[in-house]
Amino acid sequence: MKKLIVLLILIIVALIPIGCHRLSAKADSKRGNSLGNTLVNGFAGKNGDFIFYEAFLDRDDPIEIALCKENLKTGKKEKLYDGEVRSLNVYGEWVYFCPVNRYNYDESPLYRIRIDGKKLEKISDAVCEFTCIVDNYIYYVDRGDQNKLYRINLDGSNKQLICEERCWSINVVDDVIYCMANDAIKKMTLDGKNRTEIINGKFCQVNYHDGWLYYITDDGSKIYKVRTDGTDKKTITTDSTGFFTIDNNKIYYYSGNLYCIDLDGNNKRKLGEAFVGSIIDDWVYSYEMYEDWTVPVRISIDGMKREELYLK
């Protein structure tokens, strides 16, 4: 039971901001993961015929978890890294990730490993959150440095401070960044300049999609949307939720169960009992409660299929 509590705390901390304060970005942007996936901690990623996700090492001993690579054509699975990970980005020949330390969440450095598993490198010692790779740069919030927003090269060099405010939930879209910063949702250029406030208040998450900013507040955690100029605020759902993601014009959120709704809040469907996770192709990769443990699973986006994830 103690292990369950520790793991649940890690999942919740990973997905819900401290203090609770298919991609619609530019078509020619090269990204390490979809915008929606990076905002819910990147549990899975994809490159060509390969998909990367967390799985139990052995179905006969479902305790140890590893980062796995699966060939979508052959179904062959391989272990890339021992241990739990988050913030997956697959870019070029590398898989970028942050190892999870169950006993010290303040340790969350950024690593990369070659897709073939032959080389592992530490990129940064920062406590990285919302790590995303866009057009050959890595953007992240450093929770160990007052949530300041930074940018580095793919090899970890040339560290640049983008925003000195307390940032969260960063959305790198085209040539701008939308994010929460000091009790407001703000917009800035990729170098942190031309900073403007869109709306103020205390928020838990913001997600850009097709000219709108979808967000949840900390006073009930409903999902709202507003245009990027701050006008035309609308309520999407009154369900209480702490985190959500958007993919292929659908909103996926957790409110006791995993649900899916249209962008206008209609056609609510229960998909399963899993938390919100990464959406790759037609599957949601996440975790689900089972007795005293949480189990890595994937659930089809129509809710009709469910698979527990094992390396063997």
pLDDT in tens, 188-209: 999 999 999 999 999 999 999 9
- For 93-148, the pLDDT digits (tens) are 999 999 987 766 677 899 999 999 999 999 999 999 999 999 999 999 999 999 99
The range of the structural domain enclosing residue 153 comes to 2-308
Q: How far is CA 166 from CA 21, 163, 242, 248, in A?
A: 10, 8, 19, 30
**CATH code (residue 272):** 2.120.10.30
Within 8 A by CB and 6+ apart from 123, the residues are 96, 109, 110, 111, 112, 138, 152, 155, 156
The percent of residues in the chain predicted with pLDDT above 90, rounded, is: 80
Burial of 35 (0-12, 13-18, 19+ CB in 10 A): buried
| Overall number of domains in the chain | 1
- For 235-270, the pLDDT digits (tens) are 999 999 988 999 999 999 999 999 999 999 999 999
How far is it, in rounded angstroms, from Cα 41 to Cα 277?
8
What integer pLDDT is reported at residue 138 of this predicted model?
98
Question: Sign of the CA dihedral 187, 38, 8, 304?
Answer: positive
- For 45-67, the pLDDT digits (tens) are 999 999 999 999 988 777 889 99
**DSSP 8-state symbol, 143:** G
Give the closest residue to 29 by CA, choosing from 161, 190, 160, 155.
190
Burial of 229 (0-12, 13-18, 19+ CB in 10 A): exposed
